[in-house]
Amino acid sequence: MDINEIATKEDLRDMLNDFTKEIEYALESKREEVRFIKSKQVREMLSISEGTLKEYRIKGVIKYQKVNGTFYYKEKEIIGTFSASKI
Protein backbone atom coordinates (compact mmCIF):
# COMPACT_ATOMS: atom_id res chain seq x y z
CA MET A 1 0.00 0.00 0.00
CA ASP A 2 1.32 3.43 -1.02
CA ILE A 3 1.44 6.18 1.60
CA ASN A 4 -0.96 8.26 -0.47
CA GLU A 5 -3.59 5.50 -0.54
CA ILE A 6 -6.48 5.33 1.90
CA ALA A 7 -6.55 2.25 4.13
CA THR A 8 -9.85 0.44 4.34
CA LYS A 9 -11.19 -1.31 7.41
CA GLU A 10 -10.28 -4.61 5.74
CA ASP A 11 -6.70 -3.42 5.17
CA LEU A 12 -6.43 -2.43 8.82
CA ARG A 13 -7.91 -5.76 9.95
CA ASP A 14 -5.39 -7.64 7.80
CA MET A 15 -2.52 -5.58 9.19
CA LEU A 16 -3.73 -6.19 12.73
CA ASN A 17 -4.04 -9.93 12.13
CA ASP A 18 -0.53 -10.08 10.63
CA PHE A 19 0.88 -8.08 13.54
CA THR A 20 -0.92 -10.29 16.08
CA LYS A 21 0.47 -13.44 14.44
CA GLU A 22 3.99 -12.03 14.53
CA ILE A 23 3.68 -11.19 18.24
CA GLU A 24 2.26 -14.64 19.05
CA TYR A 25 5.12 -16.31 17.17
CA ALA A 26 7.70 -14.20 19.00
CA LEU A 27 6.17 -15.01 22.36
CA GLU A 28 5.92 -18.74 21.62
CA SER A 29 9.58 -18.94 20.61
CA LYS A 30 10.68 -17.27 23.87
CA ARG A 31 8.36 -19.20 26.15
CA GLU A 32 9.98 -21.84 28.27
CA GLU A 33 8.52 -24.35 30.60
CA VAL A 34 8.56 -23.31 34.24
CA ARG A 35 8.60 -26.12 36.77
CA PHE A 36 7.63 -25.39 40.35
CA ILE A 37 8.77 -27.56 43.24
CA LYS A 38 7.65 -27.70 46.87
CA SER A 39 9.66 -27.05 50.02
CA LYS A 40 10.35 -30.74 50.65
CA GLN A 41 11.90 -31.13 47.21
CA VAL A 42 14.04 -28.04 47.72
CA ARG A 43 15.24 -29.27 51.11
CA GLU A 44 16.13 -32.65 49.65
CA MET A 45 17.84 -31.08 46.63
CA LEU A 46 19.98 -28.81 48.81
CA SER A 47 20.30 -31.12 51.83
CA ILE A 48 19.08 -28.41 54.20
CA SER A 49 16.69 -28.30 57.11
CA GLU A 50 13.24 -26.73 57.22
CA GLY A 51 14.63 -23.92 59.39
CA THR A 52 17.40 -23.15 56.92
CA LEU A 53 14.93 -22.99 54.06
CA LYS A 54 12.75 -20.62 56.09
CA GLU A 55 15.79 -18.45 56.80
CA TYR A 56 16.59 -18.30 53.06
CA ARG A 57 13.01 -17.17 52.36
CA ILE A 58 13.14 -14.48 55.07
CA LYS A 59 16.53 -13.18 53.93
CA GLY A 60 15.42 -13.16 50.30
CA VAL A 61 18.05 -15.66 49.22
CA ILE A 62 15.39 -17.54 47.30
CA LYS A 63 12.14 -16.40 45.72
CA TYR A 64 8.93 -18.27 46.37
CA GLN A 65 5.20 -18.25 45.83
CA LYS A 66 2.79 -19.18 48.61
CA VAL A 67 -0.47 -20.78 47.54
CA ASN A 68 -2.97 -22.07 50.12
CA GLY A 69 -0.26 -22.32 52.75
CA THR A 70 2.18 -24.25 50.52
CA PHE A 71 5.47 -22.72 49.35
CA TYR A 72 6.46 -23.20 45.71
CA TYR A 73 9.81 -22.42 44.14
CA LYS A 74 10.94 -22.22 40.54
CA GLU A 75 13.26 -25.16 40.08
CA LYS A 76 15.45 -23.28 37.60
CA GLU A 77 15.98 -20.42 40.07
CA ILE A 78 16.90 -22.81 42.88
CA ILE A 79 19.43 -24.56 40.67
CA GLY A 80 20.83 -21.24 39.42
CA THR A 81 21.12 -19.72 42.87
CA PHE A 82 22.80 -22.65 44.52
CA SER A 83 24.84 -24.20 41.69
CA ALA A 84 27.54 -21.54 42.08
CA SER A 85 27.51 -21.90 45.89
CA LYS A 86 26.28 -18.35 46.38
CA ILE A 87 25.16 -19.06 49.92
pLDDT of residue 84: 61
The sign of the CA dihedral 52, 55, 56, 57 is: positive
Please, how many CA atoms are within 13 Å of residue 54, restricted to the half-sphere of its CB? 4
Domain ranges of the chain: 36-83
Tell me the per-residue pLDDT of 66-79, one tens digit each, with 9 for 90 and over.
999 999 999 999 98
**pLDDT confidence tier of residue 29, bands split at 50, 70 and 90:** low
Q: Is the pTM of this model over 0.85?
A: no
Which amino acid appears at position 10 of this protein? Answer: E
Share of the chain above pLDDT 90, in %: 46
